[in-house]
Amino acid sequence: MAAPDYAFDTTGIVPVVVNNLLSLKTGGEIGLVALGAPGSVIPVAVMSGKTIHHLIEGDSVPQVFIPRLIALYQAGAFPFDKLVTKYPFTDIDRAIADTQSGAAVKAVLTM
Domain boundaries, the chain: 1-58, 60-111
Class of domain 1-58: alpha beta
Mean pLDDT (the chain) is: 90
Q: Please answer whether residues 12 and 32 qualify as being in contact, where contact means their C-beta atoms are separated by less than 8 angstroms.
A: yes
pTM of the predicted model as reported, rounded to 2 decimal places: 0.56
Evaluate if residue 84 carries a pLDDT over 80: yes
pLDDT computed for residue 96 by the predictor: 94
The CA-based angle 41-104-3, given to 5 degrees, is 60
Q: Please answer whether residues 38 and 16 qualify as being in contact, where contact means their C-beta atoms are separated by less than 8 angstroms.
A: no
Give residue-wise pLDDT tens across range 15-65: 999 999 999 999 999 999 887 788 888 888 888 899 999 887 666 788 888
Evaluate if residue 110 carries a pLDDT over 90: yes
